[in-house]
Chains A and B, each alone.
Chain A
Amino acid sequence: MEAARSDETLRPATADGHAGPAWPLGKPWPEAQPLGSGPPPDDIMIEFRDLYKSFGEKHILRGVTMAIPKGVSTVIMGGSGTGKSVTIKHVVGLLKADQGEVWVHGENVDELSKDGLDQLRLKIGFLFQSGALFDSMTVYEQMDFVLKRHTDLDADGRKDRIMETLEWVNLPKTTSQYPSELSGGQRKRIGLARSIILQPDIMVYDEPTTGLDPISVRVVSNLINRLRDERGITSMTITHDLLCAEMISDHVFYLLDGVYAESGTLAEVAQSDKPEIREFFGDEYAMMFKTVRDGA
């Protein structure tokens, strides 16, 4: 189990220059800017500023404030109904904030025009909990659908890109299969392939390993890590899965009652003094981290 890394930065910058600088380990985690202060610094990819969201009488988010630097894998944890999914849906404009600001790629999401939002969404990949594959299309068709709409690639170019992406998720033989013919783990990987086919800078994962067996959890988590390490993709992941969180997290935010109650490495959050968080992780888990730390 590796709660923190020993190298100087969280990960090496990619050779092709696609990745921006990763957040150095020694540097304190960035604070979000105050409301109305304009775009965040260039090295901040996503920023929530005092975000509020209610559905009728239900107050889900009550002032979420956090900044996510470029090239870092952030995990959001918390009990059911604490607003994790609601938070990430603001990143892609699926929900509009009642109050507060959401900055992504230097743009205030709620102030974008429809076209502006479409352009921003092309820079973000979103892996839904169920994979959200289109039932009426084969694996090839759904990836081709995205490429046809958003690139100038000809049929051969699109085919090359699709096969390259499917090989990347290790499912090159599924092209003619419909979603109903795939297993849960395969659906997640095809969903991942579809969401990265436009080569986004940011990935948002909504419970990417829920319902998968431990082997599939490792496969999907490794793919998430590879996206971060090889392509420098900034990611934001919701998960309850401790194995997945251990494998992918650089930084963890724990949401409680609509605000984040704790933030730090997974080990730091797991050893929180807050009873709700201790209960979430379990005393044995916190103790395990403590033992590893003390042993080191």
Chain B
Amino acid sequence: MASKPAILNLSAFTEGLARVGEFGSFVGDFFKRFWRPPFEWKEVWRQMDEVGVKSFLLTAVTGLAIGVVLAMQSRGTLARFGAEAVLPKMLALSLVKEIGPVFTSLVLAGRVGAGIGAEIGSMRVTEQIDALEVGSLKPYNYLVITRVIACVVMFPILTVWADAIGLFGGFMESYIVGNVDYRVFFASAFDSLTFPDIIVDTGKTAIFGFIVASVSSFLGYTVRGGTREVGQAAMQSVVTSILLILVADVIVVAVSLALFAPD
């Protein structure tokens, strides 16, 4: 009896490894194919609308809530040290460097990841992907590459949008509570930001977008079964994307600190 669970675990482990290998090959296909025709620009545009434009409200609300709450929470603590004046700087740094990019990406992983996993998964079980394949219509280019490009482009744009709304939320809180002038607030906020803060920390969301789109596409593309499995693929897309975003964030921050370490 004792050996059975061990065998089962080993089998699950090898299956897991095989799945990781499959994912690696799936991602490798992206780099092999994305620069070769057919280029599905119309579908890329449609996906950018799906991923981006339709997420503007969600990311705006997220950014606004974060900005307001961060300002409210920090004000008391800063006031105790007589440092209320640094609130705009603190807000800008927190939002632009970490909270904005990560929160926005996590929220988008929920909305976009589940959508991609479910859509591609249902196309798989209803034989639409087979129909594309049989019609020599290159389903990988049409379904995967378009979504990855859309996410890589739109995640940073949505992050900048969420950061801006977050800063605006922080300013509104400061204006209502402390009657802070907008020129003072924004001058102080932007004064604290450097080139790497904006480029690297916003740019890392392109990596997060790649993760969300590739993981969700993979899980949808490889679904076998029926609607139950499609639901599972959508759920796994979100969970796996979130975990990988958090891991990737640690790595990107460590690398960026090594490359652009503050003096």
Q: Select the stretch in A125-133, A228-236, A245-253 that faces chain B.
A: A125-133
> B123 and A126: CB pair below 8 A?
no
Rounded to whole angstroms, the CA-CA distance of A245 and B127 in the bound complex is: 23
Q: A121-B135, A126-B135, A135-B126 are in contact. List 14 more A-B contacts (CB 8 A).
A: A92-B133, A92-B134, A121-B134, A121-B136, A124-B134, A128-B130, A132-B131, A133-B128, A134-B128, A135-B123, A135-B128, A145-B137, A149-B136, A194-B135
| Residues in A97-142 with C-beta less than 8 Å from chain B | 118-119, 121-122, 124, 126, 128-130, 132-136
Rounded to whole angstroms, the CA-CA distance of A119 and B130 in the bound complex is: 16
User: Given known contacts A135-B123, A149-B38, is B136 in contact with A94 (CB within 8 Å)?
Assistant: no
> B137 and A146: CB pair below 8 A?
yes
Cβ distance B17 to chain A, nearest Cβ, rounded Å: 18
- What total of chain A residues lie within 8 Å of the partner, measured CB to CB? 22
Q: Which residues of chain B have C-beta atoms less than 8 A from A124's C-beta? A: 134
Would you call A150 an interface residue if the criterion is a C-beta within 8 Å of the partner chain's C-beta atoms? yes
Output the residue of B126, B132, B135, B137 with the most chain A CB within 10 A: B135
> A130 and B135: CB pair below 8 A?
no
Rounded to whole angstroms, the CA-CA distance of A92 and B135 in the bound complex is: 10
Q: Which chain A residue has the least Cβ–Cβ distance from B131?
A: A132
Q: Which chain B residue has the least Cβ–Cβ distance from A206?
A: B127
Q: Which residues of chain A have C-beta atoms less than 8 A from B122's C-beta? A: 135
Q: Which chain A residue has the least Cβ–Cβ distance from B137?
A: A149
Q: Which residues of chain A have C-beta atoms less than 8 A from B128's C-beta? A: 132-135
| Residues in A53-96 with C-beta less than 8 Å from chain B | 92, 94
> B135 and A146: CB pair below 8 A?
yes
The residue that A132 contacts in the complex, of B46, B130, B136, with Cβ under 8 A, is B130
Rounded to whole angstroms, the CA-CA distance of A119 and B135 in the bound complex is: 10
> A128 and B137: CB pair below 8 A?
no
Query: Can you identify 25 A-B contacts, CB atoms within 8 angstroms?
Result: A94-B130, A94-B134, A118-B136, A119-B136, A121-B134, A122-B136, A124-B134, A128-B127, A128-B130, A129-B127, A130-B127, A132-B126, A132-B127, A133-B128, A133-B131, A134-B131, A134-B132, A135-B122, A135-B123, A135-B126, A135-B128, A136-B46, A146-B137, A149-B137, A150-B136
Rounded to whole angstroms, the CA-CA distance of A129 and B137 in the bound complex is: 19
Rounded to whole angstroms, the CA-CA distance of A195 and B135 in the bound complex is: 8
- What total of chain B residues lie within 8 Å of the partner, measured CB to CB? 15
Cβ distance B125 to chain A, nearest Cβ, rounded Å: 10
Q: Which residues of chain A have C-beta atoms less than 8 A from B135's C-beta? A: 121, 126, 146, 194-195
Q: Which residues of chain A have C-beta atoms less than 8 A from B137's C-beta? A: 145-146, 149
> A130 and B126: CB pair below 8 A?
yes
Rounded to whole angstroms, the CA-CA distance of A84 and B122 in the bound complex is: 23
Residues of A within 8 A of B (CB): 92, 94, 118-119, 121-122, 124, 126, 128-130, 132-136, 145-146, 149-150, 194-195
> B134 and A126: CB pair below 8 A?
yes
Q: Which residues of chain B have C-beta atoms less than 8 A from A122's C-beta? A: 136
Q: Which residues of chain A have C-beta atoms less than 8 A from B130's C-beta? A: 94, 128, 132
Q: Which chain B residue has the least Cβ–Cβ distance from A124?
A: B134
Cβ distance A126 to chain B, nearest Cβ, rounded Å: 4
User: Given known contacts A135-B123, A149-B38, is B133 in contact with A128 (CB within 8 Å)?
Assistant: no
Q: Which residues of chain B have C-beta atoms less than 8 A from A133's C-beta? A: 128, 131
Rounded to whole angstroms, the CA-CA distance of A77 and B211 in the bound complex is: 45
Q: Which residues of chain A have C-beta atoms less than 8 A from B132's C-beta? A: 134
> B38 and A94: CB pair below 8 A?
no
Query: 6 smallest A-B Cβ distances: which pairs?
Result: A132-B131, A118-B136, A132-B127, A126-B134, A128-B127, A121-B136
Cβ distance B214 to chain A, nearest Cβ, rounded Å: 20
Rounded to whole angstroms, the CA-CA distance of A160 and B236 in the bound complex is: 45
Cβ distance A205 to chain B, nearest Cβ, rounded Å: 13
Q: Which residues of chain B have C-beta atoms less than 8 A from A195's C-beta? A: 135
> A128 and B136: CB pair below 8 A?
no
Output the residue of B122, B130, B136 with the most chain A CB within 10 A: B136
Cβ distance B77 to chain A, nearest Cβ, rounded Å: 50
1/0 contact string of B157-200 vs chain A (CB within 8 Å): 00000000000000000000000000000000000000000000
Cβ distance B228 to chain A, nearest Cβ, rounded Å: 18
Q: Which residues of chain A have C-beta atoms less than 8 A from B126's C-beta? A: 130, 132, 135
| Residues in B40-74 with C-beta less than 8 Å from chain A | 46
Cβ distance B1 to chain A, nearest Cβ, rounded Å: 23
Q: Which residues of chain B have C-beta atoms less than 8 A from A118's C-beta? A: 136
Rounded to whole angstroms, the CA-CA distance of A136 and B134 in the bound complex is: 18
Cβ distance A198 to chain B, nearest Cβ, rounded Å: 8
> A128 and B38: CB pair below 8 A?
no
